[in-house]
Amino acid sequence: MMNSRSKALIVGLGSIGRKHYEALKNLGFEVAVLSKSVQNFQGRLYRSFEELDLEEFDLFIIANITSLHLQTLKFIDARVRGKSILIEKPLFERHYDFTPSGENRLFVAYLLRFHPVVGHLKALIENEEVYFASFECDSYLPSWRGGDYRKSYSAKRKLGGGVLLDLSHELDLALFLCGGGRLDFGEAVKISELELESDDFAFLALRSGAKGWERRLHIRVNYFSKFERRVVIIHTKKHSFKADLRAQSLEIYSPSGAEKLSFQGDTMQNLQALHRAILNEDKNLCTLEEGQRLLKICDEVRGLK
């Protein structure tokens, strides 16, 4: 059983890897890093797997380039037993028929599942009949990480970049909150002035149910918006909900009136909640199977076989 004094290994120390490092240290983990490229790091650092005894660690976080996730996961999963392995989103750059060893607990790091607004919204709609929901994120890639965005993996499709995968949080929320559905329409294209080799706009329309009652879900994300927004809108027979994940607010509307709830938190607190969920084997964690299902939808949008 893992606890907050357990040992963790982070593979890759880019922007999200550093956030995982800080979150785990805040929770009391002993954390080591495996990275071939990081410089001026003051913690426990390894350059290759050959330097490590993998059995020493209780938790592994795969946070390297998306196109390396599969080989890294295969390597670790085949060599340890009874461990927890967290793969940063997206799981892979496309769907693969990966069969795990069955000896470890595998999860995908869809962090917004642990956003306080999302948690409250999920509880509110649990017993309601959702017939339409939209999940939208407007973002500006050049402001994400600092440095030249054109050299980032996000700008390069072959490395797993592109807004469809990079902002697949929205698709995951659609699956997590509403169950998903079959793909009616989808596109992932390059339409803006940004200098990219990957898609910067994606739109998906999903549908579930049968004739007489259907649920429709829309997902829209982009890299090029000069304003930033992340909003979930859900309509049921009794209520309409507007969740603003940046403003950390939830508006609840009914025929008789409206109310607005405010929440507090930040990315670091959400990350710590994610890691506590792994400690507690929380049912809200994204499973390997759910991560694979999401990739199948993304592959269908991109026309991949």
- Return the ∠ at Cα 67 (arms to 64 and 73), rounded to 5°: 65
pLDDT tens digits for 92-138?
A: 999 999 999 999 999 999 999 999 999 999 999 999 999 999 999 99
How far apart CA 90 and CA 222 sit, in angstroms, is: 16
In 58-168, which residue ranges form alpha helices assigned H by DSSP? 69-77, 116-125, 163-166
Give this prediction's pTM: 0.94
pLDDT tens digits for 1-41?
A: 566 679 999 999 998 999 999 999 999 999 999 999 888 88
Predicted confidence at residue 5, as pLDDT, reads: 77
How far apart CA 295 and CA 183 sit, in angstroms, is: 12
Q: How many other β-carbons are positioned within 10 Å of the β-carbon of residue 165?
A: 26
